[in-house]
Structure 1
Amino acid sequence: MSEARTPVRTAGKGAARQTVTISFAGFNRAWAAWLGDRLERRGLRVVYLRWDAPPDQSLVSLLGDLTLAEGRVLILVSEWYFQLGPRTHEEWNAALREVVAPDPARFAAVSVTTAPVPAATAVLAPVDLTNMGADEAERRLIDRLDIPLDTPVTADTARPAPRFPASMPDVWGGVPRRNTRFTGREPLLNDAYHLLQGSETGAGVLTLHGMSGVGKTQLAAEYVYRFGSEYDVVWWVNAEKRVTYRRGLAELAPKLGLQTGQEYGERLRAVRDSLRRGDPYARWLLVLDGADEPDQIWDLVPTGPGHVLITSRNPEWGEHNSKLLEVRVYDRDESVAFIRRRAPRLNEAEADQLAEALEDLPLLLDQTAGWLNDSDLSVEQYIGLLDGGIDQDVVKVSADFPLAFQTAWSILLNKLRDTVPESVDLLRLCTFFAPGFIPVRLLKEMSHDDLPEQLAGLLDDPLLWNKAINQLRQYSVVRLESHETAMDEAASSGESVYLHRMVHQIVHKDMPEADRREFIEVVRRALAEADPGRPTDTRNWDAYAEIVPHLKYADVLQSTDRRVQMLVLNCLRYMWFAGEYSAGVKLGARALRSWRRLLGESHPRVWEVTYHYANLLRSAGRFEETEAIDRAAMERLRAERGERDLDHLRMAGGLGADLWNLGRYPEALEVYEWLYPTYRDLFGEQDSRTLNALNNLGFSLRLLGRYEEARDIDLRTLEARRLLLKGRHPWTLFSEVSYAVDLRLLGKYAEAESVQAKNVREYRIVMGPDHQDTLRAQHNLALCQLRGGDRSGAAKLLTGVLEGYERKLGDTHMLTLAAAVSQSCFAREHGDIDQAREASESVIARYEMLLPENHPFTIGARSNHALILRSVGEREHAHVLAEEALAGMTGAVGERHPYTLGCAINASALRNLVGEPESAAELTRTTIARATETLGRTHPLTLSARIAHAADLRALRGRQEAEKVEQEALSDLAATLGAQHVHTISARARNRPYWDFEPQAS
C-alpha cells in the first residue's frame, strides 16, 4: 500500500507561493540551510523551525504543534533530532504513531544519517540523502515533495548559495584524517557547535581543554568533519609553540590568494588581516592544536567573522577572550562502546571492567583494547599485569592516538639503543628542552669543549648526528621541523625536531641518574650560549621568545653557573620589555625562591632578580604586593650597604612607581626628587640611569598636575636620550610620547599631534604595531586628533588601541583601562550612549577591584560616569555622583589639581541642571581662580571654567556680566586655539563645556 502524498506546487505568476516548513535539530542547521535554499530557488517559500524538545513537555503535544505550521512540514531526520530531550526510542515510536500516522500527507522527511533512529520514523517515509552528491540529493528532495521536475531554478545573485553539507570547503589544510572509530562525545560536539555559532563577530573563540590523553585533538577533528561544510576555509595549525604556530598560519596566505613576499612574518600579517576583514572568505574555521601555552600565542589569535577552535591542556585560555569547554574522560557508556568497537571479542561486562581499571582515559583505552583483541589474555589477567607494574609489550598502538604508554616505550628505547645508541642520547638531551619544537641546532652551535665523552662524538661528528636523527625519525619518535619555510634545507639535515609531549614525558622519566645530571648541564650551557645578551634590543626578541619556553625543562633555576643565571635575568628583562608580564611573574617568583635558597638572601643576583620580579609584578597590576617587596628590599639594602648603593637606588626607583600606581603622588615625587640628583652625582647627567630617574621625576610632576614643569623635564630627557641612545631607541621614543602628552595637557594640541604622529610611525617600525608602547603612542595620537577635531581618525585609533591592549595585556591592566576610559568618553559624545554606559560601569568596577579605596583614577572614572547619567536623563543620580567625585578628588589630590578642577566643572553643570544656579556660579567662580593660578588664564581647562561660569551667570539672569565673561573667554579661546577650533565653535554656540577625566597610566 503506497503512501498518499500531497504535492507541493510552486507558485505561478501572480499566485501565492506555496510554503514548506523545515523542522530541524540545531546540529543540522547546515543541512536545513541547504535544503531551504534549494526549495527557495524553485519558487517555494521556506519557514525554518528549529526543533526543540523540552523534557517537561510531551512529544505528542510537541509534534502536534508542528501540524500548526504553515504548509507542508519537512522533517530533517538525524540521530540529533531524536536525542533532544533526551527521549527513548519507545517514546518517539508512540508519539509518531499517534500524531503522524493518521495524516502522513501532512509530513515529509529527508534523512541525513546512517545511525539507528526510532522504528516508527518509517511513517515519515524519509528519503536518504547520505553518500551522494548535491545534484542527486536535490533530485531526491524535489521528488519527495512532488515538485515538478521542470520547475525553473532561479539564480539569486544577491546572496551566495550555501555549500552542500557533504562537500569540502574551498580551502582545507592540515586536518588529520578522520577517526572511523570515533565514539560518543555528542553533548560536547553539540555544545561546541552552539558556543561558536552563537558567538558575536570577533568573539568566536572556543578552547577544548583537559588532561593529556582525553582525545581533545580527536574531538576537534570530528568537529571539523561534521561541521566543515559550513565554512569556506578550514585550516589546522600546530600551536604547541609560537614559532610553529606563526609559520603554520603564515602558510595559509597563498591558499587565500594573498599576494605577499616570501618572508613569513609578512605572510602572517596578511593572513591575520584577511581573516579579520573576512576577505576573501568570511566563513573560516581555524583550529589551533596543542596550544598549551596561551601566553606564547594568545596575541596572535585572529579575530573576525570566523571561528577559532583551540585544543589545550591549559584552561588559562579563559583569560584570553576564549570560551572554555572541558573535555573530560569518557562517560562509562562511551568507554564501553569504544572498547567494544576496538576489541569486538570483549563483551559488555569485560569492557566495563577494563574501562574501570583505566579510569576511562581514551588514549589508554585505545591502546589496551587493541592489544587485548589480538591476545588470549583475559581482562582480569591483563589488569593484573598493569597492577603489578610488569614491563612488557602490552599495548597496541593505533594510528588514531599517539604513542604514550610506558611499556611500549621501554621496548622502543631498547631497540634504539641496540641499533644507534647515540639516538637515545640525543632523545634524552631533547627532554631537557620543552616538548614540541626543539631547536637542537643550539646543541650543534654551542662550544663543544669539556662535553661528556658520550656526547662529544655525537655533537662533533655530522655523520653520526644525522644517523641518530634519521633513526629517531624512522621510528616516528620525532619529526623534522624548521623555523621558517626558508629553512627546509636546514631542517632536512636534522637541525630542528619536533617531539610529542607524551614521548617527551616517558623518555625523560626513563633515564639513568648519571645521564640526567650530565645531559641537563649540556642543555643549560646551550641555552646560555644562545643568549643574545641585549634584551632591550627588539632585534633580539625572537631569540629570547624561542629560549624562554625551555628554561623550565632545563631546570635552569637550580644552576650555579653564572652564565645560566645571567640568561634567566636577561629573559626576565626581555619579558618585561616585550609585555609578557604574566609569564614573567611566574618565572620571577620561581627564580626568587630558588636563588634565595641556592645563593643566600643577600647575594647580588638575588637583589637583581628581586628588581626584575617587582617590575613584572607591578606591570601585572599587583601594586600593593610590589610596594611591600620594594620597601623590604630597600630597608635591608640601606642597612647593609648604605643609601647610595646601586641596588638600593634601583629598588627606590621601583618604589616610586608603586606609589604612582597607588595614587600617592606626593610621596612618589619625594622619591624621585632624591633619586635624580643622587644618580647625577654618582654618574653624571649623560648616564642612562640618571636619565631614567629624570624621566620618572617628570612623570611624577605630571601626575601632580604640574604640566609645565613636566614638559620641561621630559624635553630635557628626550634631548639627552637622543644624544646618548639615538632617536629610535625604545627609551627615546618613550620620552617623545611623554613630551607630546605634556604638550597636549597644556593645550598645545597642534604641536602635540605633530610630535606624536611622527613618533607613532617610528614606533611601528621599531617595536611593531602590537607592542604596548606602540599602542600607548597611538592612544595619545588619538587624543590629539580628538582635541583637534578629527573625530573619525580618533575613533578608528581608539578602537584599535583598546582591542590591542586587551589582546596584549588583558582587560585589567592600567593601560587597557586608560584606553577604555577614552573609548567610553568618546562613545558618550559621538557614539552609542548605552555602549558608553556599559563600558563606564565596567571600568569603574575594574578600578575598584584593582586599586585602593579613594584612588584618583576610580574617582575620575565616576566623574565621567556622572556625565553619562546626565545624558540619559538621570539628573539626580548624576548630580550626587558628580558631587561625590568632586569631594573625593579634593581629598585625594587637593583642591588645585587639574583633576579636581575638572571635577568641579562637571559638578557645577549638574548643580545648574538640578536647579542650584547660585551654588553652580559660586563653584565656577572659585574654579576659575584656582585654574588661573595653577594652569594660567588661557589654559583650555581655565577657559572651560570661564565659559561654564558665563552659563551660570545667565541662569542667574546676570546677563550683562555673563556677556562680558563669555566674550572675554571666546576671545581668549580664538587667540589660543583658533577661531575655527572645535572648542571655540562649540563655546560660541553656547554648548556648556564638560571635562573628561583622563588617567595617566604608567
Structure 2
Amino acid sequence: MTTLPNAETLQQAEALLAQIPLDRIPAHQRPRADWMLDDQFPISSFVGREDLLKQLAAAMASTTPTMIVPTLAITGMGGIGKTSLALEFAYRYGHYFAGGVYWINADYTPIATTAATILPSVDRLWQKLFPQRDSSQISPEQRLNEIKSFFNSPIPRLLIFDNCEQQWIFESYRPGPQSGCRVLMTSRNAVWSSSNVRAIAIDLLTPAESRQMLQKLAPRVTDAEADDLAKLVGYLPLALHVMGVALGTLEPSLPVANYYQRVQQALVAELETSANTLQNLHRSPTNHQWSVVATVRVSYGLLKRSYQDEAKLRHLLLLLACCAPNAPIPIDLLVRATEQDSATVGGWLYVLRQSGFFDHDPPQLHPLMREAIRIIEAEHYPNAANIMTAALVAEGKDAHEKWQREAMLALVPHLSACHETEKTKQGYTGNVLAIIAQINQRQGNYRQAEQSMREVLEYEIAVYGYEKQEVITTQHNLANILYDQGLYIEALNLFQEILTIEQQILDAEHPHILATKHELARVLQAQGEYAQALELYQTVLASNQRVLGTDHPSTLASQHNIASVFLAQGDYIQAQELYQTVFTIQQRVLGENHPSTLAAQHELARVLVAQGNYVKAQDIFKAVLVINQRNLGTDHPHTLTTQHELARVFLMLGDYDQSLDLFQTVLVINQRVLGAEHPLTLSTQHHLASIFLAQGNYVKAQEVFQAVLPTKQQVLGAEHPDTLATQHNIASIFYSQEAYDQALDISQTVLNIEKQTLGDDHPDTLITQSNIAVCMARQGQYYEAVALFYEIIPKQIRCYGGTTHPKVQASIEIRDAIVAAFWQKEQG
C-alpha cells in the first residue's frame, strides 16, 4: 500500500504543480526514474499544437480542492496525432507533477472479459512499484487494488490512458475523489457519458505546422513545396508523416515535383474509384482518409525503385495488414507465414519500419495504414489472408499444445480479427474460433470457451452435417469444457452421445473411441462412481498400450487417472506406485515443467497428505504452485487447485491463519472464474467451514456447511463423497455441541452410503465408523465403542501401511482413552 505524503511534502508538490507555465511551452526534459512511460518516446516529427498544449496545461494546473479528478480526453479521427500530442505534453510538462508520469495503454482486445483482467501496462506499473515482490504470488485483484491505492494518493500525478475507446476500462482504473492525479486520455470517442470528462477535439495541422513537419523529416523540401504537398493531403499528420519519410529516407534524390505529381495522380485515382472503401473507420466528412491511401501507394512504388526484395517486402506488409491493428504481431507468426528464417524477416521489418509504414518493434499497424494496404493490395489480399489464417491456426495449435501462455495471449487479438473476417465467407467452419476457444479453455476462461465452441459447432453442422468427424471432435471438446465447469451430467450425456456415433463408424480400438471412453471414465470418477470409472480406465489402458505404446501421452493419462481412482478408494500404496511410474516417464518424455508432469507431481503430494506426510507434501505443492503461476497464471484452475491443496495442508498442520487466508483468496477467484456451483468452489467453502470448526467457531462452521450442502446434493448428488464429507462435518459439529443423538443419526446415514458406494475398508468409511464409536462412548456404550475400534484399527493399518499414520495413532489413542474411562468408571 502507498504511504500517504506528509503535509509538507504535499504542500511542496502542489506548489510545484502551480508553477506550470501557461504562457509558454517548456522544453523536453528527460523522464525521472520513477516515471513509467511504457517505452513511449516523443515523435521526432511532432510540430505545432502550441495552443492545445497550453490548454491542457491550464486544465491540469489547478490545485483547488475538488470532488472530481481533473480528466481530459483528446479526441479526433484516426491518424490525426492524438497519441503524439499526449506524449509531447508528458515530456514537456511531466516534471511539474511531483508524483510522476504514468502511461497506460488502454487499447482493449477481448482476451478476457472478466473483472480480473488487468491491462498489461498496469501490471508493468505494479512490477515497477514493487520490484522486490513476485507478481506470480499476488492475485490480479490484489495487484489492481494496490495500483488503485497508489493512484488515490493526494500527491499530484499525471496518468495518461492512451487509445481508451471503452469507457468501462477507464472507470475500472479511474482514481477516487481524493486523488491528486490528473488524467489525460486519447480516444476516437468524442462523447463520454460521464459529465466529469472534458473532451478536447484535436484538428488537422495548420499549413505552417504541416510545413514544419515535412521539413523536419525531409529538410530539402522548400516552403512552397511543403505547402503544396500539405494542401494536397489535407494537412493530415499520418499522410504528412508518410510523405516526409518518403522524401527524406526512402527516396532522398527524387525531385519533389515528381513526387507531388505521383501523389496527386494516386489521390485522383482513389477518389474516382468508387468501388474502393475504407471499412470500419471513423470517417471525416472530407476525403482526408484517401490521402493515406495515395501516399502509401506512392511509397510502394518507391520501394520497387530502392529494394530488390520489393515484392517480398510488399507481401510481408500485406501479411501485417491481415492482422489486428494496434496490437504487436509476434515475429514467430510472421516467420511461419513467410516461410523464412527470423533473421530474414527481421531484416525486412527493419526496411519497412525505416520506410515509414510503422514505428514499433515488434510491428503493429495503425488502423488507417492497415486499411490503406488492404485497398492497394486488393488483388492479392485474399491469398495473403488465407496464408495468415493458416499461420495463425498453426501457431495457435502449437502454443495451445505446448501450454505457451504468453504466446497464446499474443495471438488472441489477431485470431479474433481473423475470425471476424473469415466468418463472412461462405463455407467457414469456425476453425479460427475453435483455436480461440481452446486457448480460453487453457487459460481457465471456461464460460467464454463454451460459448465459442458452441458457435464453432453451429458453423460445422451447417457445412458438414451431424456425423462428420470434425463435428464429433468439436462435440468432444465442448464436453471437456462442460466437465471443466463441473457440469458433469451434461458432459456425461454428450460423451455418451459421441461414443454411440463413433462406435457406428470407427473400429473398436480407434484412438477417437479410446479418447471418448477415457473422458467418460473421468466424468464417472468425478461423480464418485469409482468402480465403473476404474473398469473403463483399465479397458482403455490396455488398448492404448497395445495401439499407441507405453510412453504415449494418452497411455500415461490413463495410468494417471487409474492412480487417482486408487487414491480416491484409499488404496494409497498402489496410487503412489502408479503415480511415480507416470511421473518418471513424463519427466523424460515431456519435461519437468510440462503441465502433465506437474499434475502427476501434484497427485503424488496428495498421496503424501493422505499418508500423513504433510511437511513433504507442503514442499511439493509450493514448488508446483510457483511453476503453475508462472506458466499458467494466477487465475488458472490448475493454479487454484494447487493453492487449494496447499491450504488443506496448512489446515492439517494446524496453521489455521495461513490456511484461512489462502482458502479465502482461492474462493474469491473460484467464484469469479469458475462460478458459485463449481465443485472446486464448493470444496473451498467446505474447507473454510472446516477451519471454523477446528477453531471452535461452531455457529459459523455450521452456517457454511448447511449453505454448501444443498448445492452439493444438487450438483454432485446425494451419494457423492464430497457431499458425504459435508454431512460428516455437520455431524462433528453436533458432537462438539454434545448433541450426540443428532450426530449419530447423521453419521449412521453417511456410513450406510459409504459402505455401499466406497466399501467397508475405505478410509472415509473407517473415519465415519470411528466417529460413531466416539459418540457411543460419550453415551456410555463403552463395550460397543471399544469393539468397533478393534474392528477399525486393523483395517486402518492395512490402508495406511502401518501404525505410524496420524489417523491410526489417533484411533489407538481414542480406543485406549475409552478403555481407561471405562475402568475408571467401574472402579469409581
**In 2, Cα distance between the equivalents of 1:436 and 1:845?**
49
Return the letter of the residue paired with 1:620.
Q
Question: Judging changes above 3 Å, is the alpha-carbon distance between structure 1 residues 530 and 877 closer, same or farther for their aligned structure 2 residues?
Answer: same
Q: Which residue of 2 aligns with 1:249?
A: 122
Q: Which residue of 2 aligns with 1:62?
A: none
Alignment of 1:434-445 (within 5 A): 437=327, 439=329
Return the letter of the residue paired with 1:546.
A
Question: Judging changes above 3 Å, is the alpha-carbon distance between structure 1 residues 772 and 859 closer, same or farther for their aligned structure 2 residues?
Answer: same
Q: Which residue of 2 aligns with 1:542?
A: 406
**In 1, Cα distance between the equivalents of 2:174 and 2:623?**
29
Q: Which residue of 2 aligns with 1:200?
A: none
Q: CA deviation at 1:865?
A: 2.7
Structure 2 counterpart of 1:818, from 675, 680, 683: 683
Q: CA deviation at 1:273?
A: 4.4
Could you report, residue by residue, the CA deviation over 1:762-815 in whole angstroms, capped at 9, with x for unpaired residues? 545554555433443343344344434555554554444444544543443333
Could you report, residue by residue, the CA deviation over 1:945-981 in whole angstroms, capped at 9, with x for unpaired residues? 44444455566x3449999xxxxxxxxxxxxxxxxxx
**In 1, Cα distance between the equivalents of 2:504 and 2:513?**
10
Q: Which residue of 2 aligns with 1:75?
A: none
For the pair 1:752 / 2:620, whether they are aligned, the reply is no
Contact 2:139–2:634 (Cα < 8 Å) also in 1: no
For the pair 1:490 / 2:361, whether they are aligned, the reply is yes
Structure 2 counterpart of 1:238, from 100, 106, 110: 106
Q: Which residue of 2 aligns with 1:44?
A: none
Q: Which residue of 2 aligns with 1:354?
A: none
Contact 2:431–2:456 (Cα < 8 Å) also in 1: no
Q: Which residue of 1 aligns with 2:771?
A: 906
Q: Which residue of 2 aligns with 1:630?
A: 495
Alignment of 1:706-745 (within 5 A): 706-745=571-610
For the pair 1:773 / 2:664, whether they are aligned, the reply is no
Q: CA deviation at 1:843?
A: 2.9
Could you report, residue by residue, the CA deviation over 1:809-840 in whole angstroms, capped at 9, with x for unpaired residues? 34433333333322321232137555434433
Question: Judging changes above 3 Å, is the alpha-carbon distance between structure 1 residues 779 and 651 closer, same or farther for their aligned structure 2 residues?
Answer: same
Question: Judging changes above 3 Å, is the alpha-carbon distance between structure 1 residues 630 and 907 closer, same or farther for their aligned structure 2 residues?
Answer: same
Q: Which residue of 1 aligns with 2:475?
A: 610
Q: CA deviation at 1:659?
A: 0.5
Partner secondary structure for residue 418 of structure 2: coil
Partner secondary structure for residue 550 of structure 2: coil
**How many pairs are equivalent?**
617
Question: Judging changes above 3 Å, is the alpha-carbon distance between structure 1 residues 442 and 421 closer, same or farther for their aligned structure 2 residues?
Answer: farther
Q: CA deviation at 1:619?
A: 0.5
For the pair 1:944 / 2:810, whether they are aligned, the reply is yes
Structure 2 counterpart of 1:693, from 550, 558, 565: 558
Q: CA deviation at 1:701?
A: 1.5
Return the letter of the residue paired with 1:240.
Y
Q: CA deviation at 1:889?
A: 3.1
Question: Judging changes above 3 Å, is the alpha-carbon distance between structure 1 residues 464 and 793 closer, same or farther for their aligned structure 2 residues?
Answer: closer
Could you report, residue by residue, the CA deviation over 1:744-779 in whole angstroms, capped at 9, with x for unpaired residues? 212334443454454445545554555433443343
Q: Which residue of 1 aligns with 2:443?
A: 578
Question: Judging changes above 3 Å, is the alpha-carbon distance between structure 1 residues 962 and 583 closer, same or farther for their aligned structure 2 residues?
Answer: farther
Question: Judging changes above 3 Å, is the alpha-carbon distance between structure 1 residues 272 and 746 closer, same or farther for their aligned structure 2 residues?
Answer: closer
Q: Which residue of 2 aligns with 1:681?
A: 546
**In 1, Cα distance between the equivalents of 2:827 and 2:766?**
21
Q: Which residue of 2 aligns with 1:895?
A: 760
Partner secondary structure for residue 398 of structure 2: coil
- Per the normalisation by structure 2, the TM-score is 0.60
Return the letter of the residue paired with 1:249.
V
Partner secondary structure for residue 816 of structure 1: helix
**In 2, Cα distance between the equivalents of 1:832 and 1:632?**
48
Contact 1:785–1:791 (Cα < 8 Å) also in 2: yes
**In 1, Cα distance between the equivalents of 2:615 and 2:349?**
65
Q: CA deviation at 1:898?
A: 1.8
**In 1, Cα distance between the equivalents of 2:749 and 2:657?**
34
**In 2, Cα distance between the equivalents of 1:523 and 1:692?**
34
For the pair 1:660 / 2:531, whether they are aligned, the reply is no
Q: CA deviation at 1:710?
A: 1.1
Q: CA deviation at 1:584?
A: 1.9
**In 2, Cα distance between the equivalents of 1:753 and 1:811?**
27
Return the letter of the residue paired with 1:900.
T
Partner secondary structure for residue 714 of structure 1: helix
Question: Judging changes above 3 Å, is the alpha-carbon distance between structure 1 residues 166 and 554 closer, same or farther for their aligned structure 2 residues?
Answer: closer
CA RMSD of aligned residues (A): 5.7
Could you report, residue by residue, the CA deviation over 1:708-756 in whole angstroms, capped at 9, with x for unpaired residues? 2111111111122222223222222211111121122123344434544
Q: CA deviation at 1:922?
A: 5.9
Question: Judging changes above 3 Å, is the alpha-carbon distance between structure 1 residues 717 and 954 closer, same or farther for their aligned structure 2 residues?
Answer: same
Flag the structure with more relative contact order, 1 or 2, with Cα contacts below 8 A and sequence separation at least 6: 2
Q: CA deviation at 1:544?
A: 1.5
Question: Judging changes above 3 Å, is the alpha-carbon distance between structure 1 residues 684 and 446 closer, same or farther for their aligned structure 2 residues?
Answer: closer
Could you report, residue by residue, the CA deviation over 1:426-484 in whole angstroms, capped at 9, with x for unpaired residues? 999999766874749899666469xxxxxxxxx999988988958xxxxxxxxxxxxxx
Question: Judging changes above 3 Å, is the alpha-carbon distance between structure 1 residues 943 and 236 closer, same or farther for their aligned structure 2 residues?
Answer: same
Partner secondary structure for residue 547 of structure 1: helix
Contact 1:798–1:819 (Cα < 8 Å) also in 2: yes
Percent pairwise identity: 18
Structure 2 counterpart of 1:863, from 728, 732, 743: 728
Alignment of 1:799-814 (within 5 A): 799-806=664-671, 808-814=673-679
Partner secondary structure for residue 400 of structure 2: coil
Question: Judging changes above 3 Å, is the alpha-carbon distance between structure 1 residues 855 and 521 closer, same or farther for their aligned structure 2 residues?
Answer: same
Q: Which residue of 2 aligns with 1:703?
A: 568
Return the letter of the residue paired with 1:586.
Q
**In 2, Cα distance between the equivalents of 1:496 and 1:604?**
38
Q: CA deviation at 1:617?
A: 1.8
Return the letter of the residue paired with 2:361.
A
Contact 2:479–2:491 (Cα < 8 Å) also in 1: yes
**In 1, Cα distance between the equivalents of 2:398 and 2:428?**
10
Question: Judging changes above 3 Å, is the alpha-carbon distance between structure 1 residues 661 and 566 closer, same or farther for their aligned structure 2 residues?
Answer: same
Question: Judging changes above 3 Å, is the alpha-carbon distance between structure 1 residues 655 and 589 closer, same or farther for their aligned structure 2 residues?
Answer: same
Q: Which residue of 2 aligns with 1:323?
A: none
Contact 2:399–2:408 (Cα < 8 Å) also in 1: no
Q: Which residue of 2 aligns with 1:839?
A: 704
Contact 2:326–2:364 (Cα < 8 Å) also in 1: no
Q: CA deviation at 1:681?
A: 1.7
Could you report, residue by residue, the CA deviation over 1:660-695 in whole angstroms, capped at 9, with x for unpaired residues? 122211110001111112211223322222111111
Please list every run of 5 or more consecutive structure 2 residues that lacks an aligned counterpart in the other structure.
Answer: 1-6, 8-60, 76-98, 180-190, 199-278, 301-313, 340-346
Question: Judging changes above 3 Å, is the alpha-carbon distance between structure 1 residues 513 and 723 closer, same or farther for their aligned structure 2 residues?
Answer: closer
Question: Judging changes above 3 Å, is the alpha-carbon distance between structure 1 residues 790 and 265 closer, same or farther for their aligned structure 2 residues?
Answer: closer
**In 2, Cα distance between the equivalents of 1:631 and 1:844?**
29
Alignment of 1:53-452 (within 5 A): 164-165=65-66, 175-177=71-73, 238=106, 240-241=108-109, 246-250=119-123, 252-253=125-126, 257-259=129-131, 273=143, 275-276=145-146, 437=327, 439=329, 447=337
**In 2, Cα distance between the equivalents of 1:962 and 1:738?**
50
Contact 2:759–2:765 (Cα < 8 Å) also in 1: yes
Q: CA deviation at 1:511?
A: 14
**In 1, Cα distance between the equivalents of 2:636 and 2:537?**
27
**In 1, Cα distance between the equivalents of 2:663 and 2:138?**
24
Partner secondary structure for residue 697 of structure 1: helix
- Per the normalisation by structure 1, the TM-score is 0.51
Question: Judging changes above 3 Å, is the alpha-carbon distance between structure 1 residues 704 and 499 closer, same or farther for their aligned structure 2 residues?
Answer: farther
Please list every run of 5 or more consecutive structure 1 residues that lacks an aligned counterpart in the other structure.
Answer: 1-33, 35-130, 135-163, 180-230, 307-327, 339-402, 450-458, 471-487, 964-1002
